[in-house]
Amino acid sequence: MRRRSVLKGLTGAAALVGFSLAGDEDEEALANDDFGRVGEAHAAQLEDAPKHLYNLDYRYGGDTLCDQAAAQLRRANKLLNRGQYSEKVGQRLQVATGELGICAGWLAFDAGRQDQARYCYTEALAAARMANDANLEVHALANMSMQAVALDRPREGLHMAQAAQRVAAKISTPTMDSLLAMREARAWAKLNDGPAARKAMARAHDAFQKRSDDEEKPVWIAFFDEIELAGNEGMCELDTGRANKAASFLELARGKQREGMVRNKSLYTVRLAFATLARRDVTRAIEIGEEALGMVVNEVTSTRTLNELRAFRRQLAQVSTSTAARTFMARFDSTVVA
């Protein structure tokens, strides 16, 4: 695929936040077992790393970032296990390593490396429980729920989302409550239980209306705005067979994305193509699919988005043999590496 311009931009952006995409220097440094004293500055550096990686992910997607995140996670684990530090610093290191693990898992998820993502999430969940950190545990469970639904294990995704809500009971904020309710809704929708999905969506909307400007929003929640709420609702409607409603929500999610959220825009563009095809507007679905293909080729490196577009191409082949459909499929096949 033609990703040179994307990778060039990613390299420059990574340099601005102090990351090396190669990671060679980190690997050489970590070969030495003598880490000496680990202090507050080391913990702060680990705490900052996910924020930078997430910002790059929003712009470019996870494919090229996931190896860098894995290298950062190896460094964090070696500091945690071989460094010398106070109890206070140790607590920060444990939580920071868990958050970095979730970030690495998320990037692996977006890159299509599902076993790696699951491993990172599971390790982060263990770190959360060792550190007795509810926020970290909720974050891990929420991401595991999303992955399970994406991998067509909706019952597992439902249980993860419900577990996250139980853990969050004492620490939740309106935005967290809304996000977790929507995770539950996505699982119910994948189970094709429309009433249960809509009940969970109603809870998500109710919680979202209670937000305030001074609400604390950890980095893993900060992305969840009214546009993401609409996009998730659109996917619930699509999974439960209500294509017209789905298309309205997904059009909003695609059209109103914040500046810099290029990967999410590409993802919702593909999903809008699905909804439009479900409405039997083949011509418009192909037009939207063409937009998505251009973004996947030239703007983002996200195997998750590419796989969804690949599924759209398969579905299109099943419902149309028109010239426009054949042209799109030929362009897809000649552009995308299988």
Q: Are residues 149 and 165 in the same domain?
A: yes
**pLDDT at residue number 34:** 54
Decide if 175 contacts 184 (C-beta within 8 A): no
Of 173, 200, 224, which residue sits at a domain end?
Answer: 224
Q: How far apart are CA 237 and CA 305, in angstroms?
A: 19
C-beta atoms surrounding 98 within 10 Å: 29
pLDDT in tens, 288-332: 999 999 999 999 999 999 999 999 999 999 999 999 999 999 999
Q: Are residues 149 and 210 in the same domain?
A: yes
Q: Are residues 67 and 103 in the same domain?
A: yes
Q: What is the dihedral of CA 79, 82, 86, 89, to 10 degrees?
A: 20
Q: Are residues 257 and 161 in the same domain?
A: no
Q: Are residues 70 and 114 in the same domain?
A: yes
Structural domain for 58, as ranges: 4-134+230-335
**pLDDT at residue number 314:** 97
Q: Give the phi and the psi of residue 84 in degrees, each rounded to 5.
A: -115, 125
Q: Are residues 49 and 158 in the same domain?
A: no
Q: How far apart are CA 157 and CA 143, in angstroms?
A: 9
Of 224, 246, 274, which residue sits at a domain end?
Answer: 224
Closest CA relative to residue 42, chosen from 94, 7, 1, 4? 94
Q: Are residues 239 and 90 in the same domain?
A: yes
Cα(first)–Cα(last) distance of the chain, in Å?
Answer: 10
The two structure tokens encoding residue 254? 């695609």
C-beta atoms surrounding 162 within 10 Å: 16
Q: How far apart are CA 39 and CA 41, in angstroms?
A: 5
* Residue 15 DSSP one-character state: H
Decide if 208 contacts 259 (C-beta within 8 A): no
Q: Are residues 150 and 248 in the same domain?
A: no
pLDDT in tens, 99-127: 999 999 999 999 999 999 999 999 999 99
**pLDDT at residue number 7:** 43
Decide if 185 contacts 197 (C-beta within 8 A): yes
**pLDDT at residue number 188:** 98
- The whole model's pTM is what? 0.89
Q: How far apart are CA 119 and CA 75, in angstroms?
A: 17
Q: Are residues 123 and 171 in the same domain?
A: no
Q: How far apart are CA 257 and CA 237, in angstroms?
A: 20
CB neighbour class for 336 (10 Å; exposed up to 12, middle 13-18, buried from 19): middle
For the chain, which residues score pLDDT lower than 50?
A: 1-31
* Amino acid of residue 210: K
Q: Are residues 249 and 277 in the same domain?
A: yes
- Kindly give, in sequence order, each residue whose CB lies less than 8 Å from that of residue 162, ignoring residues fewer than 6 positions away: 184
Q: Are residues 179 and 291 in the same domain?
A: no
**pLDDT at residue number 31:** 47
Decide if 65 contacts 114 (C-beta within 8 A): no
Total domains, the chain: 2
Of 224, 255, 286, which residue sits at a domain end?
Answer: 224
Q: Give the phi and the psi of residue 37 in degrees, each rounded to 5.
A: -80, 130
Our separate counts of H helices and E strands in the chain read 17, 0
**pLDDT at residue number 138:** 98
Q: Are residues 165 and 143 in the same domain?
A: yes
